[in-house]
Amino acid sequence: MNFVIPRGATGGSGISSELYTAYSTPPQPGANRTPFVFDRDGAIQGSAIVHTPRTANFLIQQTGYYEVSFHGTISPFGSPTFPMVIIVYLQLQGAQVLGTDISHTFQTSGEVVNFSFSQIVPVTTVPATLNVVGDGQSFLYTGINITIHKISDL
pLDDT digits (tens, 9 = 90+) for 22-36: 999 899 999 899 999
**Between 131 and 3, where is the model more confident?**
131
pTM above 0.75, yes or no: yes
Burial readout 43-53 (b: 16 or more C-beta within 10 A, e: otherwise): eeeeebbebee
The domain 19-152 having CATH identifier 2.30.22.10: the answer here is no
